[in-house]
Amino acid sequence: MILVTGGAGFIGANFVLDWLRGAQEAVLNVDKLTYAGNLRTLESLQGDSRHVFARVDICDAAALDALFATHRPRAVVHFAAESHVDRSIHGPADFVQTNVVGTFALLEAARRYWASLERGEREAFRFLHVSTDEVFGSLGPTDPQFSETTPYAPNSPYSATKAGSDHLVRAYFHTYGLPTLTTNCSNNYGPYQFPEKLIPLMIANALAGKALPVYGDGRNVRDWLYVTDHCSAIREVLARGEPGQTYNIGGWNEKANIEVVHTLCDLLDVARPLAQGSYRDQIAFVKDRPGHDRRYAIDASKLERELGWKPAETFETGMAKTVRWYLEHQAWVNEVASGEYRKWVETNYTKRM
C-alpha cells in the first residue's frame, strides 16, 4: 500500500485515479477535506477496497502514527498543501500551518514508522514530496530555465512555505537518512481543478458570460503541464528516483497568460459558439497580483535523461482535452461553484470509500 496525502485535491485525485487504473496496489488517501478537497471527484472508487480514505489533518501527529501503524505503507506521496497563491496573500497563516508544520508532522511520523521497519523494508521505503517551481522565484525574459541547482528565491507566502517544506524534506534525508525524493513541477491543468485557478476559472466565467480577469498586462509567463503527465512523472520518480535527489517536472510549454486565455476562448468559440462575437470580448485586464512572478520555466531534462520520462500531451492536445472535459462535466463545476460538493461529502462520507 502507498499513503497519499491530499488525494481529494486536484493533482492528488488525478494521481489516485491513475494509480488505481494501472496498479492493484492499494492507496491510503489522507486528506483533511479543506475547501479544495472534493470526494465527489473520487466517487467512482466507492466500494473499491483498494482505496481507503481517512479524513485526517497532516498536522495531527497521533492520527498519522495510527495510520502508519495500521496500514504499514511502503511509500508516502505527499500532495497535501494549501496551494493557491492569491489565498496565501490574503491569509498566509493556513499556508504556514499546513505546508510547513504539516509537512514537518508528516516527516516526523514517517521517520518514526520508518525507524521501526526491518532493514529491507527500511531501504525500500520512499517519502516523495510534491513541490513547485515557484520556490525558484521569478525569471527574466532571457534567463535560462529553472534547473535542480537554481537557488531558491520564493516571493509569495505560498512559495515561501513550499520552500520551507522542501528544506525540511532535504534535511530529513541528510540528517536522518529518511529516503526522500522531491519533485518541483510547473503549472498543472486538466480535469477536476478547483475553479479558482486560471484555466478552470476562465472556462467557468466564459460560459457564465462573466468577465475574464487577466492580471496586469497578461504577459506573465507560466510553463504548463497536463495533470496526468505530472502523475506519470511522479510514478517514475517514486519507482526509480534516487533518494536525496530533486527532480524538475515541466512540459516545455512556456506561455504568456494572455495566450492561454486566447487559446481557451478560441476553443470555446468552436465548441460552444456565442450567438454573436467571441469569448475574447469578455477579457478584462484587472489590477495585478502583488509580488506577481513574471516568468517560470522548467528545464526537465534531468528527469527525461535519468528516468526516461516524457510528457504525453502537448499544450494543444492538453488544452483541447481540458476544454472538452469541463464542457462535459458542468455538473462537477456547478457543484463546486454552489458549494453543494461540501454537502455531498457530509452525507456520503464513509471512512472506507
- Encoded one letter per residue, x for contact with ligand NAD by CB under 6 A and - for no contact, window 245-284 reads ----------------------------------------
Which C-beta is closer to ligand DAU: that of 29 or that of 159? 159
* Active-site residue, from 113, 158, 247, 296: 158
Binding flag, residue 83, ligand NAD (CB under 6 A): yes
Do 293 and 153 meet the contact criterion of CB atoms below 8 Å apart? no
- Distance CA(139)–CA(148), nearest Å, equals 15
311 is a contact residue toward ligand NAD (CB under 6 A): no
The single residue listed with the C-alpha cell 511522479 is 234
Neighbours of 270 (CB within 10 A): 9
Instruction: Please check whether residue 326 is in contact with residue 333, taking contact to mean a CB–CB distance below 8 angstroms.
Output: yes
Could you tell me the smallest distance in angstroms from the CB atom of residue 272 to ligand DAU?
Answer: 20
Half-sphere exposure of 282 (CA within 13 A, CB side): 24
Shortest gap between Cβ of 209 and ligand NAD (angstroms)?
26
CA–CA separation, 147 vs 303, rounded Å?
11
Residue 134 annotated among the catalytic residues of the structure: yes
Give the residue with the Cβ less far from ligand NAD, 214 or 231. Answer: 231
Residues 6+ apart with CB under 8 A from 241: 126, 128, 181, 247, 307
Inter-CA distances, 126 with 148, 230, 233, 260, 278, Å: 20, 18, 15, 36, 49
Residue 229 designated active-site: no
**Could you say which residues in the range 11-50 bind ligand DAU, by CB under 6 A?**
none
In this chain, which stretch among 169-177, 180-188, 201-209, 283-291 interacts with ligand NAD, using CB under 6 A? 180-188
Instruction: Give me the residues paired with residue 76 across strands.
Output: 3, 127
Q: Whose Cβ is closer to ligand DAU: residue 54's or residue 333's? A: 333
Q: Is 223 designated active site?
A: no
Q: Catalytic residues, which ones?
A: 133-134, 158
Q: Rule CB under 6 A: which residues touch ligand NAD?
A: 5-6, 8-12, 31-34, 36-37, 57-59, 79-83, 98, 102, 130, 132, 162, 185, 187-188, 194
